[in-house]
Amino acid sequence: MPKNMGLIDKLVRIAAAIAVAVLIFTGTLAGTPAIVLGIVAAVFVLTSVVGTCPLYLPFKIDTRGKKKA
């Protein structure tokens, strides 16, 4: 799969995942919302590590910045 995520995009996703993890581990977030947001946070981390967001592909979104010719 082609890379389509820039550094800022990756950092925002990682920060959101960390925030959700903190809320879950401190007990602020529990039950079904914790499970759903935990799954979303895991997907954010996975897509950040891989560098590709599958939802960006059909819309041809690329947050990597300007391409060098």
With a cut of 70, say whether residue 66 has pLDDT above it. yes
- Calpha distance 51→44 (Å, rounded): 10
The total number of residues shown for the chain amounts to 69
Q: Integer distance in angstroms from the first to the last C-alpha of the chain? A: 21
Ramachandran area for residue 65 (φ above 0: left; ψ -120 to 50: alpha; else beta) = left
Domain residue spans of the chain:
7-50
With a cut of 90, say whether residue 1 has pLDDT above it. no
In the prediction, which pLDDT does 69 show?
59
For the residues 16-39, what does the mean pLDDT come to?
Answer: 97
